[in-house]
């Protein structure tokens, strides 16, 4: 029974179940506490941050930063706990905690949830705290990295991770097929989506394996196709999120290209076929550079920036944010801790795992120290340049519903004789009411 510790931060309720039940239905009100310099609480508080990483070294790093903060601010905080929730169930568990009136003080937030969280008012505006924190250098933050997490002037979460999408290539397979090395094409300025398609198709035909894999897409998570259609400057909806743009010519062209690359050229795996690049099952893959850690020495590989599309090269990053909940118990203390957690010095430590949104840290050398599998040149080409003017994957404050609806509609596109324009038109009529919501 030794494991039955009641949580220390709350005294165990003495009220009987039935007695408290009446009070339960009343919704816990979020206190819109003004955030600024935290007032010293009557006694030091315990902070709790929910994360989805379970990696011991990452958690160890977080804890060491937190311990230093506690040591500096004993009157504010007595401890910081990092609570791991499994990736797959992260949103479910976080939502249950919010619904149950047990909001964490800080939480990691998925990129796709960003506009919803930002618009909901659930998060505290961090900008005054970050700007007001001495030595924080708010201006050092890359503006394009912040845009997803802003609403008006306010910044509602800090994008601690900015991992650009890039193309990994299996040079063994490409060489065996007698195809040009993408690295050379990049140097010649001939690295285009069409070139990538041709290399992928020829290599797949030669190896009997797969060509190009858009990782995590699997014909379900369609938002990952943003890495492709961005080369056409296409987007699913207008920047303000009110108009469907699936039927615009750029998107029709991009989707037609993709459909034909799959079904005519055999450059990408067909639906229902998965191939793992890191297991040696595919010639190339589009994914975030952070996945380099999955590579072992079973084949030779290289990494190149995203190819150019008809509209030029467009960088895409995948982000993750961390925010402070207004409904938490100590939002002002939590925001102060966040300012410490992500200051220049600590951001450099975190850069070992998460490319930071700080201009000063985005150079090949400082990133190479943290990423032993990649050279400074590779990092310079892919990360540093990849974060410049990068767009994020599609996001919307109604994203969950949009994502589900678009997935269901696009299923009609993933057959050999699909009518691309008709499917995209259907998609627009299905999501227009959701965009207007």
Partner 1 sequence: MKSDVKADTTSDVLSVAGRGAPAEPPGAPGDGVTRDGETGGAAPRRRGLGARARGRLTRWLLVLVLAVLSVPFVFPTWWMATSSLKPMSEILRRVPTIWPQDPSLEAYGRVFTLQPFAQQYWNSLYIAVLVTIGTMLVAAMAGYAFARIRFPGANALFVLVLVGLLVPSEVTIVPLFRIVNSLGLINTHWPLIVIPVLGAPAVLAVFIMRQFFLGLPTELEEAGRIDGLGRWGVFWRIAVPLSRSALGAVAIFTFLKSWNLYLEPVVYLSSKENFTLPQALTQYVDAYGGPMWNVQLAATTLTVLPVLAVFLVAQKQFVQGLAHSGLKG
Partner 2 sequence: MATASAAVRRDWLVGYTMVAPVVLGSLAFVVLPLGMVVWYSLHEWNVLANTFTFVGAENYQRMASDPGLADALAATVWFSIGLVVVNIALALLLAVLLNQKLPGTTTFRTFFFSPVVVSLVAWTIVWSFLLQADGGINGFLEQAGVQGPNWLRHPTTAMIAVIIVQVFKNVGLNMILFLAALQGVPEELQEAARLDGAGAWRRFRSITLPLISPTILLVSIITIVGSLEVFAQIDVLTGGGPGNSTTVLVYYLYQQAFRFNEFGYASALAVLLFVIVLVLTLLQWQSRKRWVFHEV
Contacts of 18 (CB under 8 A, 6+ apart): none
Cβ closest to partner 2, residue 182 vs residue 328: 328
CB-CB contact of 356 with 146 (8 Å): no
Relative to beta strand 150-151, strand 154-155 is antiparallel
Structure tokens at 154: 């306010």
Q: What is the dihedral of CA 285, 173, 303, 163, to 10 degrees?
A: 20
For residue 299, the minimal CB distance to partner 1 (Å) is 9
For residue 222, the minimal CB distance to partner 2 (Å) is 11
**Residue 102, binding choice from partner 2, partner 1, none, Cβ under 5 to 8 Å by partner class:** partner 1
**Residue 71, binding choice from partner 1, partner 2, none, Cβ under 5 to 8 Å by partner class:** none
**Which residues sit at the interface with partner 1, rule CB under 8 A?**
1, 3-7, 10-13, 15, 17, 20-21, 23-24, 48, 52-58, 81, 83-89, 92-93, 96-97, 99-102, 273-276, 278-281, 288, 290-291, 293-294, 296, 298, 353
Q: Look at the alpha carbons of 357, 359, 362, 365 in this order and tell me if their dihedral is positive or negative.
A: negative
Residue 192, φ and ψ in degrees, nearest 5: -120, 170
**Which residues sit at the interface with partner 2, rule CB under 8 A?**
17-18, 21, 24-25, 27-30, 91-92, 95-96, 98-99, 116-117, 120-122, 219-220, 270-274, 327, 400-401, 404, 407-408, 411-412, 414
Cβ closest to partner 2, residue 113 vs residue 346: 113
For residue 86, the minimal CB distance to partner 2 (Å) is 10
Cβ closest to partner 2, residue 21 vs residue 54: 21
Cβ closest to partner 2, residue 79 vs residue 150: 150
Contacts of 143 (CB under 8 A, 6+ apart): none
For residue 138, the minimal CB distance to partner 2 (Å) is 26
**Residue 68, binding choice from partner 2, partner 1, none, Cβ under 5 to 8 Å by partner class:** none
**Residue 300, binding choice from partner 1, partner 2, none, Cβ under 5 to 8 Å by partner class:** none
DSSP per-residue string spanning 279-293: GT-EEEEEEEGGGGG
For residue 265, the minimal CB distance to partner 1 (Å) is 20
CB-CB contact of 125 with 315 (8 Å): no
Residue 280, φ and ψ in degrees, nearest 5: 85, 20
- Give the Cα separation of 185 and 196 in Å (integer): 10
Closest CA to 203 of 267, 137, 259: 267
Closest CA to 68 of 436, 372, 280, 340: 340
For residue 349, the minimal CB distance to partner 2 (Å) is 31
The three-class DSSP label of residue 20 is helix
Cβ closest to partner 1, residue 58 vs residue 181: 58
**Residue 135, binding choice from partner 2, partner 1, none, Cβ under 5 to 8 Å by partner class:** none
């Amino acid at each position: 029974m030794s494991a039955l510790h009641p949580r220390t931060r709350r005294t165990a309720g003495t009220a009987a179940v039935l007695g408290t039940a009446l009070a339960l239905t009343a919704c816990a009100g979020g206190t819109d506490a003004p955030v600024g310099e935290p007032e010293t609480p009557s006694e030091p508080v315990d902070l709790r941050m929910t994360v989805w990483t379970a990696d011991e070294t990452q958690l160890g790093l977080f804890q060491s930063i937190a311990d230093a903060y506690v040591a500096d601010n004993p009157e504010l905080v007595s401890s910081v706990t990092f609570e791991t929730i499994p990736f797959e169930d992260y949103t479910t568990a976080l939502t249950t905690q919010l619904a149950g009136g047990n909001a964490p003080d800080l939480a990691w937030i998925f990129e796709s949830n960003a506009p919803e969280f930002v618009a909901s008012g659930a998060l505290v505006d961090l900008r005054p705290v970050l700007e007001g924190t001495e030595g924080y250098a708010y201006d050092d933050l890359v503006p394009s990295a912040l845009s997803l997490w802003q609403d008006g002037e306010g910044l509602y979460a800090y994008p601690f991770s900015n991992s650009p999408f890039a193309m990994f290539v299996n040079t063994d397979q490409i060489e065996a097929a007698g195809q040009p090395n993408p690295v050379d094409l990049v140097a010649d300025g001939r690295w285009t989506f069409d070139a990538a398609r041709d290399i992928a198709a020829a290599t797949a035909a030669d190896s009997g394996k797969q060509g190009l894999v858009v990782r995590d897409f699997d014909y379900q998570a369609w938002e990952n196709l943003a890495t492709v259609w961005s080369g056409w400057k296409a987007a699913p909806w207008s920047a303000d999120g009110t108009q469907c743009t699936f039927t615009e010519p750029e998107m029709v062209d991009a989707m037609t290209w993709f459909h034909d690359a799959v079904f005519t050229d055999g450059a990408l795996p067909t639906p229902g076929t998965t191939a793992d690049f890191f297991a040696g099952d595919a010639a190339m893959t589009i994914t975030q550079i952070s996945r380099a850690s999955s590579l072992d020495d079973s084949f030779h590989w290289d990494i190149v920036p995203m190819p150019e599309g008809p509209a030029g090269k467009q960088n895409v990053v995948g982000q993750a944010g961390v925010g402070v909940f207004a409904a938490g118990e100590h939002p002002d203390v939590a925001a102060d801790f966040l300012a410490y957690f992500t200051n220049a010095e600590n951001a450099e430590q975190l850069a070992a795992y998460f490319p930071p949104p700080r201009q000063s840290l985005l150079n090949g050398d400082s990133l190479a120290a943290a990423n032993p599998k990649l050279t400074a040149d590779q990092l310079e080409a892919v990360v540093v340049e990849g974060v410049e003017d990068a767009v994020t994957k599609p996001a919307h404050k109604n994203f969950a519903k949009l994502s589900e609806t678009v997935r269901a509609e696009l299923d009609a596109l993933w057959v050999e004789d699909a009518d691309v324009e008709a499917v995209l038109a259907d998609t627009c009529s299905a999501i227009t009411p959701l965009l207007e919501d």
